[in-house]
Structure 1
Amino acid sequence: MFNSLHSKLTQEFPKWGKACWKNVLALSLGIIRKGTVCLNKVKDSIGSILDNQRTSASGHYKRLTAYLRNILTPIYGVIYCNYPPCICTKVGIF
């Protein structure tokens, strides 16, 4: 399911890029699968969603927090951002 959604979205919206859609889908499917928005609980399902069991849950947690910080930085004016390039500049929001 992940791979078909990922390829469809990257074809329909090429401006966002593959990495962006991978993070959006992983986060969305993780929230649906776990039934919560708590990233500490969602991180455990990311490995099976991405079909990558070699990476640790803490690595998935870092992926999710970096992605969310990347989105929220330009919106809320947060200075701290470790995840360039910013998605919002790619899609033309800022």
Structure 2
Amino acid sequence: MDDKRFDRPVKVRLAEGAKVLSVSSAYQASGLLASTDWPAKRTALHRVAFEAAEKVLEGSAPRSTVAPVLKRPLAKLGYWLTPISKPGNGCISRAV
């Protein structure tokens, strides 16, 4: 299966103290967005991100569209990018 891997994974932490998840493909992004682990209501931003991941999996959108739209619903929830270990690698984590 071609899961449409990203050039760089999106590091995600869905709750304070939770394990950091590395979302490295449209398939994983779609799974995360459809998961019952999603930490909030499904908003319009969430729907846009989910639909982008699905379109990439269908082949009707480039994979480069998913990572930016995946970050939007997380940022709206109070999550943002912070460095993890290497420059250019990011982690979306909840504000404390």
Shared fold, TM over 0.5: no
Q: Which one has the largest radius of gyration?
A: 1
TM-score (ref. length: structure 2): 0.29
Larger proportion of strand: 2
Question: Which structure's residues are more often helix, by fraction?
Answer: 1
